Chains A and B, each alone.
Chain A
């Protein structure tokens, strides 16, 4: 069974703090990793798609890294703002030729002014 795990489950930070979360996935059966941002009452919004070991992606104040050998990815937010408050989901696509996104439970971020 392929499990994608995210930690921490929730996080409260102050405006201006930088923060990071972890996504772990089985490294033995990996093809791609997707990160999503999911605000309450909206639909998940794609942030990054990553495939290569050592890959780094950046979008504004948000960046992500990928380690496929040890099976983890980090998502970083620099200088958190209240509008960054959301649940951040990662999803792994295992090898095998199918595009099933296997989602983690998410990290719920609350940024307090």
Chain B
């Protein structure tokens, strides 16, 4: 158990809908990262927040947005969902914002868009 929690574990929804994935980092960690694992692709970095501020962005679609709240939990919002958005979404956290910080991964949310 990494100490990172994600809810829900599974989510099934229809095309065009909007969903929110939630992540609570390990106690004391200030950085939260979001990654996407699609069937035909490896783990892809989406976005990082550090202490409430957006810190780095990957190939995140405009239909996706995220935020980190004052209590440091983070939410990833996915809207106008398409079939291709079906994937495993991981959240990770690290203590600070250094490249050498270990990133601890949560159990993931499996999103299925029908």
Contact = CB atoms under 8 A, between A and B. Distances in A.
Interface of A: 31-32, 34, 36, 42-46, 49, 51, 89, 91, 93, 98-106
A101 B37 CA distance: 13
B108 A43 contact: yes
Contact of B99 (A31, A46, A103): A31
Interface of B: 2, 4, 31, 33, 35, 42-45, 48, 55-56, 58, 90, 94, 97-108
Contacts, number: 62
12 contacts: A32-B100, A34-B103, A43-B2, A44-B105, A45-B2, A45-B105, A89-B43, A93-B99, A99-B97, A100-B58, A101-B43, A104-B42
Contacts of A106: 42
Contacts of B90: 43-44
Given A49-B100, A99-B97, A43 B56 contact: no
Contacts of B107: 42-43
A44 B106 CA distance: 8
Contacts of B2: 43, 45
Contacts of B56: 98-100
A102 B41 CA distance: 12
A30 B23 CA distance: 29
A38 to B, nearest CB: 9
Contacts of B31: 99
